[in-house]
Amino acid sequence: MPGSYIILKNPRFVVRLDIFEELDHAIQDNENKGPKLIALSGLGGMGKSQIALEFCYRNQDYYQYIFWMEADTDAALQSSFKTAAEKLDPPIFAENPADIVRRMLEWFEKNSGWLLVFDNADDYTLNSTSNGRLQRDYFPRSGRGVILMTTRLNYGTGQKKSVVDLNEIQMDDSTALKLLLRENVDDGNALEIVKLLGYLPLALDLTGAFMEIEKCTPTEFLRKYENKSEAYLNPANYVQERMGKDGGKTVFTVWEVSFDRIKNKDPLAASLIQSIAFLYPDNIPLALFENHAQTIFVDKTISSIFKRAAKRAAQLMADYSVGRQTTPKDSNSNVQTTIGAAQMLADYSLVRRTTRKDSEQDDPGKDTLSIHRLVQAAILSKIKLPEKKEMSKRLLSALFHEMKPKNERSVEARPAQLLEGAHVSAPTDRRLSYKSTFVRRC
């Protein structure tokens, strides 16, 4: 595979041919002398990142190199440039992140046939007046390639044709129904739900997963939704900015229907997703929770879940090891319990779980979770400030222990992914000067 993909294809992707055609036209018609610059814009949750990802997979024979850059913060951008630099042949190595970025930009400017995606280039965390800064600091100025950025902002790229605006291209009924219904049967009310959710892909996907797992009919879901929706007449301002008032309300409501159910079924899954809401949203290693369950989760119910699982595992081990010297591979009860909770969240589409079979057993990138930023916003809005403080303290402590040198293994020797993947958020905008860990607004 040319270039560097760090994100796997979404197996549930529902194709929107009209948008791929728009993107093809935008690229063909763009007359820039240097790289062609295309912005895929639209409110949060409309499917920009998903479309960009599918676009990469569909065009992998066309472009010689494809690079995916997480563009929401400087740290994420630098980490993406580093990953890309290491994948080149010959690879580019440099100590200083700024040197890597500079040398990568030189590489782009000298080469052709590349597609460079800047995902979530919303730029608000880069700094307030920074629309130009992302472009100035991270975009190659020459070279024959295509830059595709996904953004919630209405970026002018100079030429009208270079902006594909999802706000103007609503999903058609049959595509929206496909996303919502999955294998479920329409009892006549599915289109009503689609309209109620404003054709918003994020909300349709969450609802589809809920109805599938709960074996809930569209009519039953409508009832649950209507009971909840009163609570969210006014989503928080920053959510409104990113999704509009209706989109914000929709996602908050849909999220809460799922969360209520999960809390009943598995309190650990509920606590896990709350913790995940504090972290940098992509590539979160499940190992962090497996290794530090006791530090991160304090709730008595959860401790007893772990204790029960440990007892069961001990019993299994005793049975298993009769006459044997080796232990079963999955005998670690924390691992099994945490994986069970993570899988439940993935089944409800609240997180995406990626397991890589080709990774080493102790590679933290082997089993990772990603969560949508707007789902994080919904979760955080329901946690009270003192609890937020306590939870971020516990996560920081777990991260600190994970990063501390263990015996002969130094921080430097630990797989970089864990450090890069785990950025903790706290309840304020305050920045922490703590390795690559930084604070996000919640």
Ligand X SMILES: Nc1ncnc2c1ncn2[C@@H]1O[C@H](COP(=O)(O)OP(=O)(O)OP(=O)(O)O)[C@@H](O)[C@H]1O
Instruction: Return residues touching ligand X (CB under 6 A).
Output: 12-14, 16, 42, 44-50, 120, 150, 152, 179, 201-202, 205, 349, 372-374
Interface residues with Mg ion (CB under 5 A) are 49, 120
Taking CB within 5 to 8 Å according to partner kind, which of Mg ion, ligand X, none is near residue 179?
ligand X
CA distance 293 to 297: 6
CA distance 200 to 293: 35
Distance of closest approach, residue 192 Cβ to ligand X, in angstroms: 20
71: Cβ–Cβ under 8 A, 6 or more apart, which residues?
A: 77, 80, 118, 119, 120, 121, 123, 134, 138, 149
CA distance 51 to 282: 17
Which residue's CB is nearer to ligand X, number 41 or number 392?
41
Taking CB within 5 to 8 Å according to partner kind, which of ligand X, Mg ion, none is near residue 374?
ligand X
Residue 21, classified by CB atoms within 10 Å of its CB into exposed (0-12), middle (13-18) or buried (19+), is exposed
Which residue's CB is nearer to ligand X, number 26 or number 100?
26
Which residue's CB is nearer to Mg ion, number 291 or number 376?
376
Distance of closest approach, residue 151 Cβ to Mg ion, in angstroms: 9
CA distance 36 to 34: 6
In the complex, residue closest to ligand X by CB? 47
Contact 62, 132 (CB under 8 A): no
CA distance 395 to 398: 5
Which residue's CB is nearer to Mg ion, number 120 or number 376?
120
Distance of closest approach, residue 282 Cβ to ligand X, in angstroms: 11
Taking CB within 5 to 8 Å according to partner kind, which of ligand X, Mg ion, none is near residue 373?
ligand X
Taking CB within 5 to 8 Å according to partner kind, which of ligand X, Mg ion, none is near residue 224?
none
Distance of closest approach, residue 38 Cβ to ligand X, in angstroms: 15
Distance of closest approach, residue 179 Cβ to Mg ion, in angstroms: 16
Which residue's CB is nearer to Mg ion, number 120 or number 125?
120
Tokens 């018609």: give the residue.
29
Distance of closest approach, residue 120 Cβ to ligand X, in angstroms: 5
Which residue's CB is nearer to ligand X, number 182 or number 409?
182
Residue 228 three-state SS: helix
Taking CB within 5 to 8 Å according to partner kind, which of Mg ion, ligand X, none is near residue 202?
ligand X
CA distance 333 to 320: 14
- Write out 302-366 in H/E/C secondary structure: HHHHHHHHHHHHHHHHHHHCCCCCCCCCCCCHHHHHHHHHHHHHHHCCCEEEEECCCCCCCCHHH
Contact 374, 44 (CB under 8 A): yes
Which residue's CB is nearer to ligand X, number 72 or number 402?
72
Taking CB within 5 to 8 Å according to partner kind, which of Mg ion, ligand X, none is near residue 44?
ligand X
Which residue's CB is nearer to ligand X, number 269 or number 378?
378
Distance of closest approach, residue 299 Cβ to Mg ion, in angstroms: 32
- For residue 354, the Cα-to-chain-centroid distance in whole angstroms is 11
Taking CB within 5 to 8 Å according to partner kind, which of ligand X, Mg ion, none is near residue 157?
none
Distance of closest approach, residue 386 Cβ to ligand X, in angstroms: 28
In the complex, residue closest to Mg ion by CB? 49
Helix H or strand E encompassing 369? strand 367-371
Taking CB within 5 to 8 Å according to partner kind, which of Mg ion, ligand X, none is near residue 164?
none
CA distance 26 to 330: 50
Contact 146, 55 (CB under 8 A): no
Taking CB within 5 to 8 Å according to partner kind, which of ligand X, Mg ion, none is near residue 345?
none
Distance of closest approach, residue 88 Cβ to Mg ion, in angstroms: 26
Which residue's CB is nearer to ligand X, number 20 or number 306?
20
